[in-house]
Amino acid sequence: MVLDDQNPTTGETRILTDFTNNMTYSEYLQLDKILSAQKRLSGHHDEMLFIIIHQVSELWMKLIIHELKAAIAAIKADNLSAAQKCLARVTKTQMQVIQAWDVLSTLTPSEYMEFRETLGQASGFQSYQNRMIEFALGYKNSHILQIYKKDPALHAELLKAYEAPGIYDAAIHALHKAGFPIDKEILARDVTKSYKENDSVRAAWMSVYKNTKANWELYELGEKLVDIEDCLQQWRFRHMKTVERIIGFKTGTGGSSGVGYLKKVLDQRFFPELWDIRTTL
């Protein structure tokens, strides 16, 4: 391989310059595919911003799903420290997605109206990765699966995620394994239904938080879950305010009520007992 040994500007003498038989950075990342995936339908300047923000957010969501799956597996394997590492990464990733709204909010109503019609009925409401995150966090809605029937392979993947236990189910089983009494109906609950708060789970978390030294790993797990729900709600709030800022109270391109719908989902709870005990501790 040829080395650049005559670079007077940088002083570097061993920078590789011949990649005839070696993989390049662009090839490794498949940048040709990624950077050619921004297809503006309107030709409008600001449509590029709209596309890139959503594509980047979907990439971050892919990482969130990857880490949530690993965290669930780690909890099931009684490796809570590994799960905590994954969940900490989820939270840091969520912050990146939250900050993306700051960039999208530079799009004004007049600019968006120039290309909104080209979206047809496509909408962020249809993001299947967002659904998979919700499923992993325990919010289940069978009706929403109808959106994805157009793609049988994708529908099957979503159905699998829908029927799988979420991370809170794994955490509750970890409480049970640690000796905290959990109601049998919760341990054997139908995981295709959204989780509903339970007194035995609340009592278990209360015991953990009252004696953190003896239950440090479970306590840390609980706090990591709170971090994730906190960030998720921040993301939802910024989503709602950005949509209101750009289109007001218009109906969403996918048929939802837009801001009205986004306000309603702010009331969804994922790990209710972990929030409830803060009042009674």
Binding site listing: 50-54, 112, 116, 239, 253
DSSP code per residue over 106-135: TS-HHHHHTTGGGGTT--GGG-HHHHHHHH
Q: How many CB atoms lie within 10 A of CB 218?
A: 22
Q: Using alpha carbons only, give the angle 70, 128, 116 rounded to the nearest 5 degrees.
A: 140
**Locus of tokens 């007077």:** 8
Q: How far is the C-alpha of 269 from the C-alpha of 207, rounded, in Å?
A: 21
Residue 67: what residue type?
A: E
Compute the distance between CA of residue 205 and CA of residue 146 in angstroms, rounded to an integer: 36
What is the 3-state secondary structure of 51-112? HHHHHHHHHHHHHHHHHHHHHHHHHHCCCHHHHHHHHHHHHHHHHHHHHHHHHHCCCCHHHH
**Under a CB-based contact definition with an 8 Å cutoff, are residues 161 and 173 in contact?**
no
Between CA 16 and CA 8 the distance in angstroms is 15
Distance, CA of 87 to CA of 65 (rounded, Å): 11
Which residues fall in the annotated binding site for substrate?
A: 50-54, 112, 116, 253
Helix (H) or strand (E) holding 3: strand 3-4
- Binding site for heme, by residue number, is 239
CB 131 within 8 A of CB 144: yes
DSSP state, residue 45: T
Query: Which residue's entry shows tokens 């594509």?
Result: 55
